[in-house]
A and B are shown apart, each in its own frame.
Chain A
Amino acid sequence: MPRKPVAKFVVDHLQVLDEKGQVDAKLDPGLPGERLLEMYRWMRLARELDERMLKLQRQGRLGTFPPNTGHEAVSVPIAMAMGPKDWFVGAFRETGGRLVRGEPLTSPLHYYNGWEEGNLLPDPALRITPISVVIGCQIPQAAGLAFASRYQGEDAVAVAFIGDGGTSEGDFHEGLNFAAVWKAPVVYVVQNNQWAISVPRAAQTSSRTLAQKALGFDIPCLQVDGNDALAVWVAIHEALDHARSGKGPYLIEAVTYRLMMHTTADDPKKYRDEAEEKRAWEKEPLIRFRAYLGARGLWDEERDRALAAEVKDQVDGAVRAFEAPHDRADDIAFEHVYGTDHPHLHEQRAEFLANVRFDGGKEADHG
């Protein structure tokens, strides 16, 4: 018997808007001006919030957080393309998308300053899952969410995010496999920002692309320029259509760059070349999108100044609301251990409250 190929795979790369903001006219999705402006506005708002959070953190007014700067063109167009019943299953670098889906600006501020209130949604029907700090867990969860949506007769899709480092986790592979076997309506988005804390993409995996990891499960995939909001817009529509039509999962690798530190607790100077960062800044997503808007006649200096002032006001307002005095109960952890009532928790809660009084209501002394 001759040897013959039994399967062949190809991975496409898509870019619509290049680094200079030049659009490939054949690939341009031709979004109406209003939609483009909306997209740009969300990206600028996410950037403004991120930059403010960094300042607050450096001033000791916010805890450790993972900056999102440079990732705006991935989650913002995706969140805008999703339907109201779709599940937004985030990791932790999708602040822009979370805002689009309806999370208040104050939520990341509360969350990253150590308050569980940052996880509260205005309405759980928004279907934004909480931030998944442990890497990869959300991937099989998204398969379950998608399975459940189909089982319940909805045509909702679960869109789950993960980073380049996350593709090394067992849960990534297990979850993709489950989704594929179930033909579950899921879109997986790998934000390949080249760095998992200090480990570069090349040391993370020897795969030539991260998109191709989907091929092991016969999941169709597409690699896109993740700094190109239009390419992401095209890709997510293709992916959502695929998933919603019953063909199963789809994977998008969005190639971007982590322009900032992993979290505010680390210093990239220790492990990466500043020249590399400098080159990456030249490719960042907002500059090219603004150039595109200009070329479409939708943008000028005056509009830019107005938008800068508008998003600043919005973030100012959120910071004021976040820093206003809050009446936060100390014993909230006892409230939500179980959905049923158990005496040992009443006893421990009483003991806890007595201890709070014993400590004089001040910061307890832990040596």
Chain B
Amino acid sequence: MAKLTMVQAINLALAEEMERDRSVLVLGEDVGRDGGVFRVTDGLLEKFGRDRVLDTPLAESAILGASIGMAMAGLRPVCEMQFCGFSYLMMGQYEAHATRMRARTQGQFTLPLVVRMPYGGGVRALEHHSESREAIWAHLPGAKVVLPSGPRNARALMAAAIRDPDPVVFMEPKHSYRAFREEVPDEPEVLPIGKCQVAQPGTDLTLVSWGAMMRPTLKAAAEVTEKRGASIEIIDVLSIAPLDAGAICESVRRTGRCVVVQEAPRSFGPSSEITAQINDRAFLYLEAPVARVTGYDVVTPYFGREKHYIPSAGRVARAIEETLDF
């Protein structure tokens, strides 16, 4: 057991998988000598060499395009989009090929590749560095979208993503990169993709979140429990696509109340889908409307103004109390 940050935990998973399987390689902008701008790939070049850790030219579409070619030929590339704000340049390759190749060829060609990208606000970064755009990738069938919330599940989900037979978009909450440490077991762990985790069992209300928002979510739940003794079940979604709607709705059927917390703008995001799934599968069990604590449908402000746009523990606690009192 070692206490690791999320940066160290993802780095550990990459090193473990590269050690285990020679077909795994890492590519992207500054991932080699620099070890990545957040140091997630630090030391991999020294350990695995230039054939397996590739500093690429600056071209996001070609980073994914070349990864698609590598994966078709039997490799398992893990490519990095340096920031989520740069990732939209790969959309053509993602939509036209990454998500479709398996279906297009009825499984004759498949793309076991991972696209890593740091996402989300809270680190006083430049424009285009603070968005939470998981819905864009999740909307397109054929790829999987995973958002870890802490060092331990980040390491286990990265191992799963690399071993997965399909393209996986792995969105790393950069606000959580170094914000806290967690015990990470010595032995490799693999978490299933497409399954959420119950972070805390409870009976009065289901609180759903993922990624960077798990921190304010857990804090808010602790505050409300402390204040009024409520028993709150907390679900860490982990995979936005495929979404484990069955497990979320099963919890809501037991508790009758639900609050969903997302960093992204409100409309057309995962919280909309989760609410719709609850409507489909748990409507008659609801004691209160599903509440959402989200970002706003505005362009993400620069960091001087971002703190009031990102859901706070206080806003989450208020939504929990309003839903309990409904």
Contact = CB atoms under 8 A, between A and B. Distances in A.
Interface of A: 87, 116-117, 119-121, 124, 129-130, 132-134, 137, 139-149, 151-152, 158, 170-171, 174-175, 177-178, 181-182, 332-333, 335-340, 342-345
Nearest to B141: A337
Contacts of A147: 66, 69-70
A130 B105 CA distance: 7
B166 A178 contact: no
B246 A343 contact: yes
A139 B65 CA distance: 8
B243 A141 contact: no
A142 B51 contact: no
B41 to A, nearest CB: 18
A43 B248 CA distance: 59
Given A144-B72, A335-B106, A336-B106, 8 more contacts: A117-B106, A141-B66, A149-B73, A151-B75, A158-B69, A170-B61, A175-B66, A345-B242
A116 B106 contact: yes
B288 interface: no
Interface string B122-147: 00000000000000000001101000
A213 B104 CA distance: 32
A338 B166 contact: yes
Contacts of A171: 61-62, 65, 92-93
Nearest to B167: A338
Given A137-B92, A137-B93, A333-B103, A181 B57 contact: yes
A181 B55 CA distance: 10
Interface of B: 25, 51, 54, 56-57, 59, 61-62, 64-75, 77, 92-93, 96-97, 101-110, 141-142, 144, 164-166, 193-194, 242-243, 245-246
B68 A141 contact: yes
Contacts of A139: 65
A145 B102 contact: no
Contacts of A151: 25, 51, 70, 75
Nearest to B52: A151
A124 B108 CA distance: 6
B51 A338 contact: no
Contact of B69 (A141, A174, A336, A344): A141
Nearest to A131: B104
A124 B73 CA distance: 11
In order of increasing CB-CB distance, the 7 nearest A-B pairs are A144-B69, A140-B65, A339-B165, A148-B73, A174-B62, A144-B66, A140-B62
Given A336-B102, A336-B103, A339-B110, A143 B61 contact: no
Contacts of A333: 103
Contacts of A148: 69-70, 72-75
B104 A337 contact: no
A130 B109 contact: yes
Contacts of B96: 132-134, 137
Nearest to A156: B73
A130 B96 CA distance: 12
A178 B59 contact: yes
Contacts, number: 151
B302 to A, nearest CB: 28
B74 A337 contact: no
Contacts of B71: 144
A104 B178 CA distance: 55
Contact of A116 (B59, B103, B144, B165): B103
A133 B243 CA distance: 30
A89 to B, nearest CB: 8
9 contacts: A117-B106, A148-B69, A152-B75, A170-B61, A171-B65, A175-B62, A182-B54, A340-B165, A344-B245
B156 to A, nearest CB: 16
Contacts of B97: 132, 134, 137, 141
B66 A338 contact: no
Contacts of A140: 59, 61-62, 64-66, 68-69, 93
A347 to B, nearest CB: 9
Contacts of B77: 144
B65 A129 contact: no
A345 B194 CA distance: 12
Contacts of B104: 116, 119, 130
Given A137-B92, A340-B193, A344-B243, A332 B106 contact: yes
A146 B104 CA distance: 22
Nearest to B193: A340
Contact of A145 (B72, B92, B93, B166): B72
B61 A144 contact: no
A336 B194 contact: no
Contact of B105 (A87, A120, A344): A120
A143 B110 contact: no
A144 B242 contact: no
Contacts of B56: 178, 181
A342 B65 contact: no
Contacts of A339: 102, 107, 110, 164-166
Nearest to B59: A174
A120 B70 contact: no
A178 B54 CA distance: 11
Contact of A338 (B57, B68, B142): B142
Most buried by B among A142, A144, A170: A144
Nearest to B93: A137
Nearest to B107: A336
A42 to B, nearest CB: 24
B242 A344 contact: yes
B49 to A, nearest CB: 11
Nearest to A341: B194
